């Protein structure tokens, strides 16, 4: 089984940077330009559905983003630009860690297929 580590007491996937067997999560909503497609692996989600962690990948494109909760992202591949509604620009690439706070809104432009490890709360 490709994701045997998900059954662990500490859910995990190896290798996170190149793992190929990702579940199709569909088109990215609120597209502005292009048609980004998301895929990933859910590592954990609490019973209330208010917290989760996983591995996410997204193909190039630009879309609107409004976060209903905090999101911590460790980018492990690709390149993107996050631009907040007030004009702040955050460039991300492999090795970047970003904490987007609840209520953050703006747009995301994926320049090269992006992959991150994330946690929502």
Return per-residue pLDDT of the chain as tens, 121 residues.
Answer: 457 788 888 888 888 888 888 999 999 999 999 999 999 999 999 999 899 999 999 999 999 999 999 999 999 999 999 999 999 999 999 999 999 999 999 999 999 999 999 999 9
Residue 82 covered by a domain: yes
Residue 85 covered by a domain: yes
pTM of model > 0.75: yes
Domains contained in the chain, number:
1
Residue 3 covered by a domain: no
Tell me the residue range of the domain where 91 lies: 19-120
Whichever domain contains 115, its CATH number is 2.60.120.10
pLDDT of residue 9: 86
E strand residue ranges, 3-120: 23-27, 31-34, 37-45, 52-58, 61-66, 71-84, 89-93, 97-100, 105-120
Residue 115 covered by a domain: yes
pLDDT of residue 2: 55
Residue 11 covered by a domain: no
Which of 68, 98, 103, 71 is closest to 85 using CA atoms? 103
Residue 79 covered by a domain: yes
């Amino acid at each position: 089984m490709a994701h045997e580590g998900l059954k662990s007491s500490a859910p995990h996937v190896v290798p996170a940077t190149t793992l190929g067997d990702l579940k199709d999560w569909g088109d990215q909503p609120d597209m502005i330009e292009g048609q980004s497609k998301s895929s990933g692996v859910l590592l954990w989600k609490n019973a209330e559905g208010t917290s989760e962690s996983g591995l996410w990948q997204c193909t190039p494109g630009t879309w609107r983003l409004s976060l209903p909760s905090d999101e911590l992202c460790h980018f492990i591949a690709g390149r993107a630009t996050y631009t907040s509604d007030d004009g702040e620009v955050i460039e991300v690439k492999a090795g970047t860690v970003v904490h987007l706070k609840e209520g953050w809104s703006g747009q995301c432009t994926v320049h090269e297929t992006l992959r991150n490890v994330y946690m929502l709360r």
